[in-house]
Amino acid sequence: MAKISIVQNILAANDDVAREIRQTLQARGLRTINMMSSAGAGKTTLLEQTIRHLNGRLRLGVIEGDVETAADAERIDAAGGESVQIITQGACHLEAHMVRAALTQIDLEAIDMLFVENVGNLVCPAGWDLGEDLKAVVVSTTEGDDKPAKYPHMFAASQVMIINKIDLLPYVDYDLSAVKRFALAVNPRLRIFELSCRTGEGLAAWYEWLLAFAHAKTEVSEEAEVGG
């Protein structure tokens, strides 16, 4: 019983900070997406492509979460985005107090929208509110089509699912219809994108939806329906 109480207290404290973050960002009119995936699914590459393509139409800031190194933040900077790196030194997920500290290091006046790229992990990040407007989970065709069945909480907590690396479908044992079926069984309201950062297939739909989301004024419960 004591252990449960401690966990509840930690999550409650996190939620208090997350509410503070959400209020701060909403007051500035900044939409925020918490992007999650297993390691290597392609989150950073997708953000690089998005920053470059939307240059001049949507200025993106990214808070990068990694166990070690600032390599991903350096890639975001090179693509033309604003970035802050959080090095967790072993922690498997970001927490709201980390994001609050990172916000003091980013010029919020220089961005129109914020991404939080979480630590590569399909378990822990799903349970932590970071003050985002919505959660997006990225899966890739190289990691197996059973991820929604194995990690249902991640997909239940997300409003958007991005299936990346579809250019590899001819070369991998991956059932596209199965992964969508598993995901929608967990969360029927998921907005699903199928795309390839290598070939560009499907990216136009992602860009169109992102622009609409960045400027929308709907409630979070309705956001997953924007553009689809």
Query: pTM above 0.85?
Result: yes
Q: Which amino acid is at 72?
A: D
Paired strand residues for 87: 66
Cα–chain center distance at 120: 10
> Is the sign of the CA dihedral 5, 37, 204, 72 positive or negative?
positive
- Output the average pLDDT for the chain: 90
Name the E strands within 38-123: 60-66, 82-87, 113-117
Measured CA to CA, the distance from residue 129 to residue 96 in angstroms comes to 7
CB 125 within 8 A of CB 34: yes
User: pLDDT digits over 32-64, tens only?
Assistant: 999 999 999 999 999 999 999 999 999 999 999
pLDDT grade, residue 228 (50/70/90)? very low
Sequence spans of domains, the chain: 2-223
CB 164 within 8 A of CB 186: no
CATH class label, 2-223: alpha beta
Name the E strands within 21-164: 31-37, 60-66, 82-87, 113-117, 134-140, 160-164
Find the mean pLDDT for residues 163-188. 98
